Amino acid sequence: TQLLEQSPQFLSIQEGENLTVYCNSSSVFSSLQWYRQEPGEGPVLLVTVVTGGEVKKLKRLTFQFGDARKDSSLHITAAQPGDTGLYLCAGPPFPKAAGNKLTFGGGTRVLVKP
Amino acid sequence: NAGVTQTPKFRVLKTGQSMTLLCAQDMNHEYMYWYRQDPGMGLRLIHYSVGEGTTAKGEVPDGYNVSRLKKQNFLLGLESAAPSQTSVYFCASSFRDWRSYEQYFGPGTRLTVT
């Protein structure tokens, strides 16, 4: 079973500060997805990273896929209260699983205080 | 375009009662999934379907049954509810092609079994 471990589990910061969330595995993933889940809602896909070393930016969010495709990070610059939520990383195991199933990390709960 | 919808949003059951959760998607996705989300456990796959008329077991299938009679609908059934099935249930769907690992989630059903 290929696991994804996220750290930290919980992060509380003030508006304007930066934060980084990590997603690590001992296994290779062919791609990784990052989702954000707001209270009472389902997860919403933010980005998919596919190539080792890839960096993608989405406004103040920067996503990086490790060179060996075993880890990923999410960095938020100048966090705002609207960034509050549960951040989940997920990825398809390698080799591919039937039904294109995803492995999900346990999530990092981010609270940005005004 | 409603995306993925789930019915109902909330439900309280007594031990031993049965119920069916309905998931509908209007994106013409081939793949559909049912997850449960519990505190500290992340998202766990219950059952999934790769097409109309097909279903398969996920990580935690015991106590649940599913059916996919129409491409756009995926039903999750609890035949005899148990307190251990108290959870938030999410349905998701995805394409079959290179986008298959990008899943679209519904808003969730919060189920309490007393």
* Tokens found for residue B52: 């109309």
Residues on chain A bordering chain B, Cβ-to-Cβ distance under 8 angstroms = 31, 33, 35, 40-45, 48, 88, 90-92, 98-102, 104-107
Task: Label residue A1 by pLDDT band (50, 70, 90).
Answer: low
Q: Taking 70 as the threshold, does the pLDDT of residue B54 lie above it?
A: yes
- Residues of chain A found within 8 Å of residue B4, distances taken between Cβ atoms: 42
Residue B107 preceded by cis peptide, ω within 30: no
Q: Nearest CA of chain B to the CA of A101: how many Å?
A: 8
> What does pLDDT average to over chain A?
92
Q: Is the torsion defined by CA of A26, A7, B102, B31 positive or negative?
A: positive
Residue of B nearest to A107 (CA): B42
Tens of pLDDT along A46-81? 999 989 999 999 999 999 999 999 999 999 999 999
| Run of H or E including A63 | strand A61-65
- Residues of chain A found within 8 Å of residue B107, distances taken between Cβ atoms: 40-42
Residue of B nearest to A10 (CA): B40
Task: Label residue B47 by pLDDT band (50, 70, 90).
Answer: very high
Contact between A66 and A55 under an 8 Å Cβ cutoff? The reply is no
Q: Rounded CA gap, B95 and B82, in Å?
A: 33
Q: Nearest CA of chain B to the CA of A8: how many Å?
A: 13
Selection from A46, A70, A67 nearest residue A57 by Cα:
A46
Residues on chain B bordering chain A, Cβ-to-Cβ distance under 8 angstroms = 4, 31, 33, 40-43, 45, 48-50, 56, 58, 90, 92, 94, 96, 100-108
* Tokens found for residue B59: 């990580």
3-state secondary structure of A98: helix
Q: Rounded CA gap, B100 and B102, in Å?
A: 5
Phi-psi region for residue A100, left (φ > 0), alpha (ψ -120 to 50) or beta? left
N-term to C-term CA, chain B: 36
Q: Taking 70 as the threshold, does the pLDDT of residue B98 lie above it?
A: no
